[in-house]
Structure 1
Amino acid sequence: MVMNRRFITVFIMALMASGLMVAYADDFNVDEIEAALKTRIENGYAVGLTVGLVKDQQSYIISLGQSAKANGFEIDADNIFEIGSISKTFTGILLADMVQKGEVKLIDSVADYLPDNVTMPTRNGQQISLLDLATHRSGLPRLPDNMAPKDINNPYVDYSVQDLYEFLSGYELSRDIGAETEYSNLGMGLLGHVLALKAGMSYEDLIKQNLLMPLAMRDTGIELSGEQLSRFTTGHDVAGEATAHWDLPTFAGAGALRLSANDMMKYMWVNMDVAASALADAVTLSHEINAEFAAPQMSIGLAWLIRDDGDKSYVWHNGGTGGYRSFIGFDKQAKQGVFVLSNSQDNVDRIGWAILENRLDDLIAEKIVKVKDADKYVGDYQLTPDFILSVSQEDGQLYIQATGQSKNAIYMKSENEFYFKVVDAQISFKFDANGAVTGLILHQNGDHPADKI
């Protein structure tokens, strides 16, 4: 394990060149944070991590680990990561910027920007608006049902614009538009697509012109140069194995962006309103609450999520692809922010919130212990009639796969107590008098028993 920690001189020079001001960080307990994060690398929770911290007008970046599990190089703030759904916040700001410029309106119908031969779903005479897409309240599903990837390790690469148009033209909404929230990669991908159609250019060119160039974010994009590819980290799946990068040609606005930590720091500074920017009005508009979200104390702006903790309000989002996890969150009033980039499946939300809420003990990762007699846990556990948790094992490592979901590793605390790294959830196994496993309890937003079948 190799650690790299440095003041972000390159970032400072770039911001000064673009008219933004920045100062060095000297009031974080960086040593304590770094020591805790180091346990995540040493104990196999993460291959590489880059964590950015902002407090008032002070910034710091901590880089740990390697670009790849095998034959990797030491990570620093110039290495590039996939950020998955944090791309949605760029699309939200892009929409806000085009609204500010008078190019579109939030209430505009999506159908107005699609080709004439595409029929956009409607319900009870109501049409889906740009705002509905940006707030996940369009009634469109998470993904289209005609998505059948040839390569599950790069599931969006072969989904075409024509596939999207065929889905939209044949889909019937199951509920009223705006009635409730359903997180939709399809909806945000469609939003990026129609904004690009309106501008007459690709999504990537539009993002570069309207956002990345004004913010001097030169290491952010979709198609990377040869030099940038040399700094592109390798993603790792839930088993810790290297996996393919994701390509989202049709749904670029939902999750296609890649960037460096230096560029993520610029992005966080502007969103926190710590630094002056020509995009300040658009950023502010993107943070304004438009609707309640699907969880208590949660609401949504234009893609950005807002968590109300009483005396504190956090603007945040997370992201994930097949090999990466990412988090960004900040309290604008306190001028405090954190981002986390990982090229593996570590629980970056846990890292980000622990730092924001000063719960640094939660950053420490326990040593992973291989499970003896792992076969006794293997089997299917019925949570509900149509929802099964399937437990498998590979070389003493247990995995759980829920119906319709991907497989995730669980880690041993004791013979019957296990936990996930990717989400805040635990598993307790139940045994009979002979020591055979008879069921489990999923501890996530309550206790949910499941019998072994």
Structure 2
Amino acid sequence: MCSFKPSKLFSYSAFTLIFSSVVCQAATPTEAQWQALVTQAVTPVMQHNNIAGLSVALTVNGQAHYFNYGIAARDSGQKVSENTLFEVGSVSKTFTATLAGYAQATGKLDLSSKASTLWPALKGTAFDNISVLQLGTYSAGGLPLQFPAEADSADKMLGYYQQWQPQYPAGSHRQYSNPSLGLFGYLAAKSLGQPFDQAMTQILLPKLGLQHTFLSVPPAQSKLYAQGYDSADQPVRVSPGALDAEAYGMKTSAADLLRYVEAQLKPASLAPDLQKAIALTHNGYYRVGDMTQGLGWERYAYPISLEKLLNGNSTAMAMQAHKTDWLTPPQPEPANVLFNKTGSTRGFGAYVAFVPSQKIGIVILANKNYPNAERVKIAHTIFGALVD
């Protein structure tokens, strides 16, 4: 196991602390030590943001640890557990990307194909010149963060895509976008000959061994579905929208999401086609500053300062266009790299980070949409307390 020094938790400046390298040592932390470490990191954040419930799952060298705080719903007082279901927002994009990777690995999809070849209704539009890969890496030419309200439904999205005009040449700029990643997932499912919901729930999730992860929470699991709370602390859950399942529709638990992280850390335990799919999501396709864009995942050279990680998960990174520096061919996963992804809906906030070379990963789920920076700092604090 890996040892840590809780006394280091807040002894460094937040913007100069470097993620410590994790090296296994003889001493095995007790569960009480793990609990103290996580509690010290999350309690101030929960209090400051009035978060009703939060769950942290940590894997270190294949050992899972779960830490649960608060309540899943204020009206019932039900406590959060590692089996509580949370909306994970854009963390869903990593599942969508893995489905596309699976479609490519099984010969059903070519990521270099133009979007309109997979959806003939797009022929004669800008999508004649935009590849599936560009959609999956937010580089189609400036698709916006969200669909316009008048186009945000399944029956109106095609008309929106048909009239949309890019601001930039395809591939030249990164513009984080639900319509971009959503269409990517939609086309991946088309290549598999199935609707997206069916392809995800009947192909990918079973192959990953995830039995507690859903696009639509079944009635039998409804009591485990946490209630989200908006900025005014009013109860809210995710609303239907165009390509919502593909871009931000997943609901899962800390335990199941940690299993997913462990699949990223140890893909050799999976079937060969799924190993190839995960490798495709871990590839680096282009750089923007210190961030290298994968499929769904975003990655950084490890170790990394908190300042750089905060910049990569900033509002500016999500809301503004950034010039891309493409890697040709795509760069396979390096020896030392950190992957991460944030996700939010109106009532929930999620964060996932993992370092394959160090066999460590973290999942943070809350029933409140609180700032990404706070999530990153929690993970940074916990990772930083693991010492060599």
For the criterion TM > 0.5, the same-fold answer is yes
Larger Rg: 1
Matched residue, 1:98: 103
- 1:7-46 map, 5 Å: 29-42=34-47, 45-46=50-51
Give the number of the structure with larger relative contact order, counting CA–CA contacts within 8 Å between residues 6 or more apart.
Answer: 2
Matched residue, 2:3: none
- Report which of the two has the higher share of helix: 2
Matched residue, 2:131: 129
Partner residue of 1:88 out of 60, 71, 93: 93
- Tell me, yes or no, if structure 1 residue 334 matches structure 2 residue 339: no
8 A contact 2:82–2:253 mirrored in 1: yes
The one-letter amino acid paired with 1:350 is: E
Partner residue of 2:279 out of 274, 281, 284: 284
- Tell me, yes or no, if structure 1 residue 238 matches structure 2 residue 231: yes
8 A contact 2:98–2:277 mirrored in 1: yes
The one-letter amino acid paired with 1:313 is: V
8 A contact 1:143–1:184 mirrored in 2: yes
RMSD over aligned CA atoms reads: 2.5
Matched residue, 1:20: none
8 A contact 1:48–1:64 mirrored in 2: yes
> Structure 2 vs 1, CA of residues 354 and 95 (structure 1 numbering), >3 Å: closer, same or farther?
same
The one-letter amino acid paired with 2:79 is: E
The one-letter amino acid paired with 1:323 is: G
1:150-207 residue CA offsets vs partner (Å, 9 max, x unmatched): xxxxxxxxx3333111111111212100011111110011111112222232212101
- 1:176-187 map, 5 Å: 176-187=169-180
> Structure 2 vs 1, CA of residues 182 and 271 (structure 1 numbering), >3 Å: closer, same or farther?
same
Cα distance in 1 for residues equivalent to 2:118 and 2:35: 48
After TM superposition, the score normalised by the length of structure 1 is 0.66
Cα distance in 2 for residues equivalent to 1:44 and 1:169: 41
Matched residue, 1:57: 62
Aligned length: 324
Cα distance in 2 for residues equivalent to 1:146 and 1:29: 45
Q: Tell me the SS of whatever aligns to 2:256.
A: helix
- 1:297-446 map, 5 Å: 297-309=290-302, 312-347=336-371, 349-356=373-380, 358=382
- Tell me, yes or no, if structure 1 residue 268 matches structure 2 residue 261: yes
Matched residue, 1:435: none
Cα distance in 2 for residues equivalent to 1:212 and 1:204: 11
The one-letter amino acid paired with 2:346 is: G
Cα distance in 2 for residues equivalent to 1:288 and 1:281: 11
Deviation of 1:241 after TM superposition, in Å, equals: 2.1
Q: Tell me the SS of whatever aligns to 1:162.
A: coil
Matched residue, 2:53: 48
My pick for the range that moved more, 260-269 or 38-47, is 38-47
My pick for the range that moved more, 352-361 or 311-320, is 352-361
> Structure 2 vs 1, CA of residues 310 and 76 (structure 1 numbering), >3 Å: closer, same or farther?
closer
1:376-422 residue CA offsets vs partner (Å, 9 max, x unmatched): xxxxxxxxxxxxxxxxxxxxxxxxxxxxxxxxxxxxxxxxxxxxxxx
Cα distance in 1 for residues equivalent to 2:96 and 2:120: 21
Deviation of 1:274 after TM superposition, in Å, equals: 6.8
Deviation of 1:115 after TM superposition, in Å, equals: 3.5
1:317-373 residue CA offsets vs partner (Å, 9 max, x unmatched): 110001000000111111111111110123455334443454779xxxxxxxxxxxx
8 A contact 2:186–2:243 mirrored in 1: yes
- Tell me, yes or no, if structure 1 residue 174 matches structure 2 residue 179: no
Matched residue, 2:79: 74
Matched residue, 1:443: none
- Report which of the two has the higher share of strand: 1
The one-letter amino acid paired with 2:192 is: A
8 A contact 1:327–1:349 mirrored in 2: no
Structure 1: give runs of 5+ residues left out of the alignment.
1-23, 150-158, 362-453
> Structure 2 vs 1, CA of residues 35 and 161 (structure 1 numbering), >3 Å: closer, same or farther?
same
Matched residue, 2:204: 211
Cα distance in 1 for residues equivalent to 2:225 and 2:244: 21
Cα distance in 2 for residues equivalent to 1:349 and 1:206: 33
- Tell me, yes or no, if structure 1 residue 138 matches structure 2 residue 143: no
The one-letter amino acid paired with 1:256 is: G
1:24-49 residue CA offsets vs partner (Å, 9 max, x unmatched): 98587332212442344455531110
Cα distance in 1 for residues equivalent to 2:224 and 2:200: 21
8 A contact 2:145–2:179 mirrored in 1: yes
Matched residue, 1:10: none
> Structure 2 vs 1, CA of residues 136 and 129 (structure 1 numbering), >3 Å: closer, same or farther?
same
Q: Tell me the SS of whatever aligns to 2:197.
A: helix
Cα distance in 1 for residues equivalent to 2:121 and 2:292: 34
> Structure 2 vs 1, CA of residues 133 and 315 (structure 1 numbering), >3 Å: closer, same or farther?
same
Cα distance in 2 for residues equivalent to 1:202 and 1:25: 46
Cα distance in 1 for residues equivalent to 2:48 and 2:382: 22
